Amino acid sequence: MSADDELAQSWPAIRTELERAVPATVYQVWLERIQPVKLSGRTLVVAAPERYRRHIAGRFARVLQTSAAAVLGPELEVDVVGSAARADAVTPTRATPSVPRESELNPKYTFDQFVIGEGNRLAHAAALAVAEQPGQAYNPLFLYGPPGVGKTHLLHSIAAYLRAHAGGLGVRSTTADCFVSDFVTALHTGCVDRFKAAYRGADVLLVDDVQFLEAKARTEEEFFHTFNALHTVGAQLVLTCDRLPRDMAALEDRLRERFEAGLVADISAPDLSTRVTILRKRAQHDGLRGIEPRALEVIAARVADNVRALEGALIRVVAFHSLQGADGPVTPDLAEHVLDRLHPRPSRGVPTVGEIQEQTCQAFELTVEELVSSSRVARLAWPRQLAMYLARELTDASLPAIGRQFGGRDHATVLYAVRRAGERIAADGAACQAAQRLTETLGGDRAE
């Protein structure tokens, strides 16, 4: 067995040893992105992100050496290089495949772990329908949205559901980048028939990030024929993209038309209450305890557009708390301190609806869940009306858009709340002062 083959087979076991050796948060923050480069004699070379290489090499040298030695034998040395150096080396885990590869499914990406909000409700319902009735519900299903909002999560959820409940179906999950790479490899190695059989023999084909097919004429043609072959026999296709099909200018018209032939569902960035729920669910899933609810709201308010960045911010805060050996729970002040450099407060200009909700909750000592809930008790009704009023006055959001961020209320409910709040502000000095204080905190100047 060659050194490359030995490393390719041993690396998963080394990863397991690393996960056992350090707390989960430490592994996720520092060690998860380490990749093997080569095994040379008794030296294992691994690559770490350039900006963290020196810290990882210094702080985790012993645990890296111990974990690798447990798998590859004693007297093994570990050399940590930067990611740039890795590009010049042969990476065992990316050896040229003899058959098309399948993307590994993230075990955390299941329907149970997906948090439904106003921005992803349609996409979630469509994905679940496809998983329950592949080839019959929506075919193709095209999910689009900016990076980090849950497209890959839904794609993996479909695959996981089918593999658990429809064992007789051939499910292939891949990325457009892998499809391109596999096709080029098949051309160079004379394995085109094997490539076609692997992809066109699937009952369900899931392809992530199809925007990477643009401007690759030969691969586009092959994907077009693969698409047609599958669709003709009723196989299910699910595609994700960072834009609408019509916005993929460099893609052939015939492919765009096929992408648009089924259901096109968008996923937008989650609102504040959805982000808080995502953080709470992630903390429960990972067994993270001792986090004050307000700390989760601080993180959710700072990281608004990307779920991966949101979860990464949670991991950083918890890791900082753990590495500092701090007593007591993770507090809002600690979260603020950790995130000040990575996710600074936005400069004061036009506030977002989420920021208005956050500041209103702080002023009235409420949680976001209480603010957007259906409860009509007086303790919640006035802050909710005031927040809707300020959202209308200080942002450009429409009434329906505001309603969606307040628990899915309709525009008539928001309009009523805005009018009621305006009347109270005009007639009640205390209410007027509360509106002014919040407006000053938010950096606006239009409320009276």
pLDDT tens-digit readout, 235-290: 999 999 998 998 888 888 888 999 999 999 999 888 888 899 999 998 888 888 88
The Cα angle at residue 137 between residues 135 and 139, in degrees rounded to 5: 55
Q: DSSP 3-state helix, strand, coil percentages of the chain (rounded to 5)?
A: 60, 10, 30
* CATH code, residues 372-442: 1.10.1750.10
Residue 219 in contact with residue 179, Cβ under 8 Å?
yes
pTM value surpassing 0.95: no
Say what the pLDDT of residue 385 is: 93
Residue 214 in contact with residue 251, Cβ under 8 Å?
yes
pLDDT confidence bin for 448, thresholds 50/70/90? very low
Residue 86 in contact with residue 53, Cβ under 8 Å?
no
* Token pair in block for residue 377: 């008790």
CA–CA distance, 112 with 131 (Å, rounded to integer): 13
Mean pLDDT over each residue of the chain, to the nearest integer: 84
Say what the pLDDT of residue 378 is: 86
Say what the pLDDT of residue 87 is: 44
Interval 74-91: pLDDT, tens: 778 888 888 655 544 434
Superfamily name and number for 121-266: P-loop containing nucleotide triphosphate hydrolases (3.40.50.300)
* Bond preceding residue 351 cis, omega within 30 of 0: no
Among residues of the chain, what percentage have pLDDT more than 70? 92
Mean pLDDT confidence for 418-434: 88
- Which residues belong to CATH 3.40.50.300 in the chain? 121-266
- Which residues belong to CATH 1.10.1750.10 in the chain? 372-442
In terms of Cα–Cα distance, which of 350, 344, 371 is closest to 360? 371
In terms of Cα–Cα distance, which of 16, 247, 289 is closest to 144? 247
* CATH code, residues 3-92: 3.30.300.180
Say what the pLDDT of residue 132 is: 93
CA–CA distance, 306 with 421 (Å, rounded to integer): 32
- Which residues belong to CATH 1.10.8 in the chain? 283-342
CA–CA distance, 210 with 212 (Å, rounded to integer): 5
CA–CA distance, 194 with 203 (Å, rounded to integer): 16
> 322 or 134: which carries more pLDDT confidence?
134
Is beta strand 43-48 parallel, antiparallel or unpaired with respect to 35-40? antiparallel
Q: What SS3 state is found at 393? A: helix
CA–CA distance, 41 with 142 (Å, rounded to integer): 48
> 153 or 342: which carries more pLDDT confidence?
153
Integer angstrom CA distances of residue 356 from 27, 362, 429? 35, 10, 21
Give the contacts of 1 (CB within 8 A, at least 6 positions apart).
Answer: 9
pLDDT above 80 for 308: yes
* CATH code, residues 283-342: 1.10.8
Amino acid, single-letter form, for residue 58:
G
Interval 79-134: pLDDT, tens: 888 865 554 443 433 333 445 556 678 888 999 999 998 889 999 999 999 999 99
- Which residues belong to CATH 3.30.300.180 in the chain? 3-92
DSSP structure string for 261-315: TSEEEE-----HHHHHHHHHHHHHHTT---B-HHHHHHHHHH--S-HHHHHHHHH
pLDDT above 50 for 447: no
Residue 235 in contact with residue 205, Cβ under 8 Å?
yes
* Number of Cβ atoms within 10 Å of the Cβ of 185: 18
Integer angstrom CA distances of residue 105 from 5, 124, 201, 370, 380? 23, 18, 20, 35, 42
